[in-house]
Amino acid sequence: MLQVFTYLGSIISNDGGTDKDIKCRIGKAAAVFKSLKPIWTSSQISLNTKLKIFNSNVKSVLLYASETWRIAKASIHRLQTFTNRCLRSKWQDMVTSEEIWRRANQLPIEIQIRRRKWTWIGHTLRKPKTTIVNQALRWNPQEQRKPGGPRNSWRRSVLQEGKQQDKTWGQIDKIAKDRRKWKSFVDDLCPGMDERV
């Protein structure tokens, strides 16, 4: 039986899904964007300032707690569609999404979420192993997936992304202890984040 509750502003369900939380985040971000319409449409405010306000207000609400989301392609598509719709309202000409991202100095939402996730992982791995958050991150249940359960989990996605850099969990744990090496590791996982928001 599916059970859902809200904790610290995030909607949590016992099946580990994030669909309800993402839907709620999009709704809240849409409300914030609507309230910023006078700023967004103002001709007296520079585009650079508008984008900074968009990032600090709309995107921060949209991606709140995204570090812990189990992301599916459909979820990424919904988040990216919302972001594109907001940004396209600034440019009325028919151009590709990639061109909109270039004009707005943005990267795909998937890369931004990945960056947030791995930054949080590094921060958590540097904490003492006795802390609850560190223990929770390292916890690896050995039981098999139940029939009908999700094929992909948050932990599996982390391990898959680590393999893209030919790193095991043990190697990732060691790298996290050195902040400079960790930054380089995360930069390789999330290309382009240094130059963009």
In this predicted model, what pLDDT tens digit does every residue of 78-109 receive, in sequence order? 999 999 999 998 887 788 889 999 999 999 99
Is it the case that residue 126 has pLDDT exceeding 50?
yes
64 within 8 A of 9, measured Cβ to Cβ: yes
Mean pLDDT of 157-165: 85
Residue 115 CA to residue 177 CA, distance in Å, equals 18
Say whether 10 sits in a helix, a strand or coil: strand
Most confident segment among 44-48, 124-128, 160-164: 44-48
Global pTM?
A: 0.80
Q: What is the pLDDT of residue 196?
A: 45
Helix (H) or strand (E) holding 4: strand 4-7
